[in-house]
Amino acid sequence: MSAVLSQQRHPIAFFSKKLSPRMQAASAYDREMFAISEAVRKWQQYLLGCNQRSLKSLLHQTIQTPGQQKWLTKLLGYDFEIHYTPGRDNPVADALSRLPSSTVLLFSAMSSAMPVVLDQLWNYYSSHAARQALVTHLSKQPESTLTYSLSSGLILYKDSIFIPDIDGLRRSLIFVFHATTEGGHSRARATAARLSASFYWPKLLAAIKAFIRQCAICQSNKCSTQKQLGTLQPLPIPRQVWEDLSMDFITHLPVSAGKTVIWVIFDRLTKYAHFISLPPRFTAVSLASEFSRTIYRLHGLPKSIVSDRDRIFHSNFWRELFRLSGTTLAFSSAYHPQTDVQMEVLNRVLETYLRCFVAETPRRWSQFLHLAEYWYNTTRHMSIGMPPFRALYGRNPPLVVHYLTDQSKVAAVGDLIRLHRDALAVARYHLSRAQQQSVHRRVSHKLGCCFFGPFFILRQIGPVTYELELPAGARIHPVFQVSLLKPFVGEPPATCGALPPDVMNADGPRHPCRILAPRAGSLPTQPQFLIQWEDQDASDASWVSLDELRSAHPALDLEDKVQIDEGSIDTAQTMLSPVKPEGPSTCKITTKR
C-alpha cells in the first residue's frame, strides 16, 4: 500500500508499507479501509484525503466485519471527504506501490560492473560524433523511430541498452554473464537469453558463441557430444594360429594359494586362451620363465604380441628378450583400451565365471581357474562361430557325460562329481544375480575435468594417433588416439597445460642406483656400464656408455672409483648418489688409461 499527502497539488509527505500475508488475502474493500486507517495513524496532524472510489460512500454503508468497525473508529473525529482519482492521474502514489523493474534489479546485482559500463557508454556518446548525433536526434524527436529510444542519456533498443563496439566492452559483458558464478558457464543460447534481457548489439548470439568456443574452462570441463574423431583401425587378421597373441593381467584378486594375479594370454586368430595364476610380486624374468613353460612349449614363439603399457611389458628385459627372438611388441596408446577390446571382453567373461563359482568363498578362485580355461575354450565364440577348441584342433571338444547318482562304485569319485554338480547349481544362482548387478562403490570422477591441456602436437604417429608434448615427469605414454583429443580454440598459451597429480612424477626420469659391471665399448675412450635403475629389478639393468651417463645425469657422484682399463672395477656393485653440482655440471668418474 502507498499514500501521498498533498495540498494544492504540492506533495507534503509520502508513506508506503508492505501488506502482511493475511491482509494480502483480504478483499479490496478491506485493504482500502486498512490503507485509510494506516494513513490516518501516520499523519494525525494533517487533514487526510484518499483516492479510492470504492470508499466514497464509506460512512453511508453498513459496516459488516469486526475489522471494518475497528478501522472506522480510527476515522471518527476527522473532517474529510473521499474523492476518486484514477491511477494514471495519481502517478506519485502509483509509483510507490509498484515493484522495481528488472533493469533496476539487474543494475543492483551488477553494482560493481555497471558504473564502469555506464561511464564507458557516456564517454563514448560524448566523444563519438555519429553516436552523439543519434543521441541528439532521439532527444529531440523520440517518436521518430520505433526501435531506438533515449533514456538517461543511454540509447535503448526496444527495452535493452544498446552496446556499441568499443574497447572490448561487449566481451567484458559476455564474460560477466557467462564466466561468473551467476553465468555458470552456460551454453550460448542460455547466456544470450540472460544478456539480451538488458543489453543488445547486432550479432549478439554469434559473439557469444565465439567467446564460449575460446573459453578455456569450458573446453576443459565440458564433455563433447559430437562424434568422436578418427576412424576405426582394427588389428590385422592373423594368418596362422598362435602367431599373433594378446595378453593382459587381472590384478588385485583375493589371495588364493598365494596367487593374486591372473595372466590372460590368447591367440587372436582362434581365440584360444590360457589363464595363468601369478603371485602378487613378479618380475619380467619370472614372467618370461612362465611364458616359456606354458606358451612356448605348446605353441612356439609368436610373431607379435599386443598388450597395454604395463611396466612389466615395458621393461628392458622383456623388450630385449622378444627383440632378439624376432617378436614384435605392439602397445596400446594411452587411455585407449579399445586397441584390444577382445582382451577386455575376455577379462570380464573370466571374472564373471569365477564370481559365479566362488562368490561365497572368494579365496578358492585358483581351484577353478583351469576349469574356467576349459569352459572358455570349449564354448562357442561369436566372432569365429565355433569354440576356440575346434578352431585350434579341428574337432569338437569331447562331451562330458552326465553323472547319475550312485553310478560310480568308488565313493571318492562320486563325491568329486557331486561337488562339481553342486558348484554348477551355485553358479546358475549367481549368474541370475550377475545380470542385475551394478557397481555401487567406486571412485567418483564426476566433477573432475573431462580434458587436460592444451598440449602441443609433436608429430603424427599413425593414421589416428598423435604424439603430444607432455610435461616433464609425466608417467603416461605421450601417444594418444585421436578420439581422446580435441583441438584447442583460442590463443595457445606460452607453456603446455598441466596433468592431474596422479599421473605426474610417479615414475619420473630414471635415476641410476648402482653399477653392476663395466665393459669396453666400441671405442677405447667410450666404456660402458651395466646400470641398475632406481625402483627396478636387477634384471632390467641396461648398458650405458660413459658419455650418455654424463649427459643424462650430470649431478651424480661415484662413491667408489671405477677403473676402466683391463675391464676391472673396484667394487662389484658401486652405489651412486646424487649431489648438487657447484658450477658446471660434471660426473665424477675416475679413469685410468
Coil vs helix vs strand at 143: coil
pTM: 0.46
Longest dimension (CA), the chain: 131
Using the predicted structure, report yes or no on whether residue 358 has a pLDDT greater than 60: yes
Stronger pLDDT, 272 or 131, i.e. the higher one: 272
How does residue 146 score in pLDDT terms, banded at 50, 70 and 90?
Answer: low
User: Residue 578: what pLDDT?
Assistant: 42
Eight-class DSSP state of 338: G
User: Residue 107: what pLDDT?
Assistant: 44
| One domain for residues 64 and 168 | no
User: Residue 561: what pLDDT?
Assistant: 36
User: Residue 143: what pLDDT?
Assistant: 56
* In-domain check, residue 506: no
Last residue in a domain, options 500, 532, 566 = 500
* In-domain check, residue 253: yes
Using the predicted structure, report yes or no on whether residue 165 has a pLDDT greater than 70: yes
Least confident of 169-173, 260-264, 362-366, 477-481: 477-481
Within 468-539, residue ranges assigned H as helices are none
User: Residue 408: what pLDDT?
Assistant: 58
Residue range of the domain that includes 78: 2-96
Cell 578362485, residue located: 365
Highest mean pLDDT among 61-65, 284-288, 359-363: 284-288
**Looking at residues 491-500, what average pLDDT do you find?**
72
* In-domain check, residue 324: yes
Amino acid occupying residue 515: I
Contact 319, 542 (CB under 8 A): no
How does residue 37 score in pLDDT terms, banded at 50, 70 and 90?
Answer: confident
Q: Are strands 512-519 and 479-481 parallel, antiparallel or unpaired?
A: unpaired
Length of the chain: 593
Last residue in a domain, options 163, 195, 213 = 213
How much of the chain is in helix, strand and coil states, percent to nearest 5? 40, 15, 45
| One domain for residues 348 and 293 | yes
Q: What CA–CA distance (Å, rounded) separates 270 from 298?
A: 15
Using a 10 angstrom Cβ sphere, with 0-12 exposed, 13-18 middle and 19 or more buried, the burial of residue 358 is: buried
For position 309, which CATH number holds? Answer: 3.30.420.10
Helices (H) and strands (E) in the chain, counts: 19, 19
Least confident of 12-16, 93-97, 520-524: 93-97
| One domain for residues 337 and 469 | no
Asked whether the bond before 454 is cis by omega within 30 degrees of 0, the reply is yes
* In-domain check, residue 196: yes
Sequence-distant (≥ 6) Cβ neighbours of residue 35 within 8 angstroms: 1, 3, 50, 52
How does residue 226 score in pLDDT terms, banded at 50, 70 and 90?
Answer: low
Using the predicted structure, report yes or no on whether residue 284 has a pLDDT greater than 80: yes
Using the predicted structure, report yes or no on whether residue 245 has a pLDDT greater than 80: yes
User: Residue 237: what pLDDT?
Assistant: 81
User: Residue 583: what pLDDT?
Assistant: 40
| One domain for residues 480 and 374 | no
Could you read off the pLDDT of 505-562 as tens digits, one per residue? Answer: 544 566 788 888 888 777 777 788 888 877 677 777 778 887 777 777 766 655 443 4
| One domain for residues 265 and 362 | yes
Q: Which three cell numbers stand for residue 120?
A: 564507458
User: Residue 464: what pLDDT?
Assistant: 73
- State how far Cα 147 lies from the chain centre: 45
| One domain for residues 249 and 366 | yes
**Looking at residues 431-441, what average pLDDT do you find?**
46
Radius of gyration of the chain (CA): 42
Highest mean pLDDT among 390-394, 408-412, 540-544: 390-394
Contact 271, 388 (CB under 8 A): yes
Written as one string, the DSSP assignment of 90-105 is -HHHHHHTSPPPHHHH
Cell 506533495, residue located: 11
Domains identified in the chain, total number: 5
* In-domain check, residue 389: yes
| One domain for residues 186 and 88 | no
Q: What CA–CA distance (Å, rounded) separates 397 from 406?
A: 26
Q: How many CB atoms lie within 10 A of CB 255?
A: 13
| One domain for residues 67 and 182 | no
Coil vs helix vs strand at 84: coil
| One domain for residues 107 and 89 | no
Contact 273, 346 (CB under 8 A): yes
Highest mean pLDDT among 98-102, 103-107, 389-393, 499-503: 389-393
Written as one string, the DSSP assignment of 284-321 is HHHHHHHHIIIIIHHH---SEEEE---TTTTSHHHHHH
| One domain for residues 552 and 482 | no
User: Residue 94: what pLDDT?
Assistant: 63
For position 124, which CATH number holds? Answer: 1.10.340
DSSP H/E element including 136:
helix 129-140
| One domain for residues 382 and 250 | yes
* In-domain check, residue 261: yes
| One domain for residues 540 and 561 | yes
Cell 599413425, residue located: 462
Using the predicted structure, report yes or no on whether residue 112 has a pLDDT greater than 90: no
Q: What CA–CA distance (Å, rounded) separates 380 from 320?
A: 37
Contact 353, 345 (CB under 8 A): no
DSSP H/E element including 4:
strand 2-7
Stronger pLDDT, 550 or 57, i.e. the higher one: 550
Last residue in a domain, options 347, 377, 393 = 393
**Looking at residues 117-136, what average pLDDT do you find?**
67
* In-domain check, residue 434: no
* In-domain check, residue 417: no
Highest mean pLDDT among 223-227, 297-301, 539-543: 297-301
**Looking at residues 263-272, what average pLDDT do you find?**
91
